[in-house]
């Protein structure tokens, strides 16, 4: 599996990067002091209810007219890394017939996708549950349900990397850099609980992550699907 190196001091390297096209990364817009985000989450421009000035916030799936681009700086206390299609088998040591122990602990709640070897998703709660986010443990909901004991599965998820500590790159200025415009972008910051297809439409989820699950505004389309060897999602952003 390919490893993307970390930044020793700033968090996650290449969490988002420009591949080609015309994109800008202005750093002169004020940011909500209460906002938390990693570079690569989607930025929304709205009116500050106190000052009446334009201010950047983390976009949600209900935002439409204010989405301006992606954050190009970190303002976070924790960094999450994406894992794509981690191969696991129920019953193969150290796993049991009912439990899978993922390769990483501190799994982000709501970020897990479990599929069979062909990519067909299993249903959370009906077929499996995240038994322990802290320890990274997946539970088969009950004996005899899919996935069956001894079944090979693929698991995608986000996990908190405890070796990286938080940083606020907006301190002092109170402003945030963004990537805006039209161009091809690569990112490690996206929803891992959904599947992506080449040329598929991309939106924003409720936490400001890029997703394929639909939303109020399309922000681009997929140009490379993330996989186990290279978890980067490539997409053509169109926010002209």
Other C-beta atoms lying within 10 Å of the C-beta of residue 166 = 13
**Mean pLDDT, the chain, as a whole number?**
90
Give which of 72, 21, 33, 30 is closest to 223, Cα–Cα: 21
Q: At 182, list the tokens.
A: 């039209």
Give which of 104, 105, 102, 106 is closest to 114, Cα–Cα: 102
The segments of the chain whose pLDDT lies below 70 read 1-13, 143-145
Residues of the chain with CATH 2.40.300: 21-78+166-239
What pTM was computed for the model? 0.91
CATH T-level topology, domain 21-78+166-239: Virus Head Decoration Protein; Chain: A, (2.40.300)
Whole-angstrom distance, CA of residue 45 vs CA of residue 47: 7
In the numeric block, the tokens 């936490």 are attached to 207
**Which pLDDT score is estimated for 225?**
98
Whole-angstrom distance, CA of residue 156 vs CA of residue 161: 15
């Amino acid at each position: 599996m390919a490893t993307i190196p970390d930044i020793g001091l700033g968090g996650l390297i290449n969490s988002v990067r420009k591949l080609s096209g015309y994109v800008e990364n202005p750093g002169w817009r004020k940011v909500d002091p209460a906002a938390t985000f990693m570079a690569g989450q989607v930025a929304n421009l709205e009116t500050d209810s106190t000052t009446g000035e334009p201010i950047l916030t983390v976009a949600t799936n209900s935002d439409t007219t204010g989405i301006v681009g992606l954050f190009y700086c970190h303002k976070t206390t924790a960094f999450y890394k994406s894992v794509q299609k981690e191969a696991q088998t129920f019953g193969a040591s150290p796993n049991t017939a009912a439990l899978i122990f993922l390769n990483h602990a501190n799994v982000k709640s709501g970020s897990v996708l479990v599929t069979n070897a062909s990519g067909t998703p299993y249903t959370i709660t009906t077929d499996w549950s995240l038994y322990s986010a802290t320890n990274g443990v997946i539970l088969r909901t009950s004996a005899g349900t899919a996935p069956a004991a001894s079944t090979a599965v693929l698991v995608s998820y986000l996990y908190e990397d405890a070796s990286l500590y938080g940083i606020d790159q907006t301190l002092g200025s109170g402003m945030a850099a963004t990537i805006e415009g039209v161009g091809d972008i690569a990112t490690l910051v996206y929803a891992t609980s959904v599947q992506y297809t080449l040329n598929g439409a991309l939106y924003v989820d409720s936490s400001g992550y890029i997703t394929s699950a639909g939303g109020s505004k399309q922000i681009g389309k997929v140009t490379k699907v993330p996989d186990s060897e290279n978890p980067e999602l490539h997409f053509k952003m169109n926010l002209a």
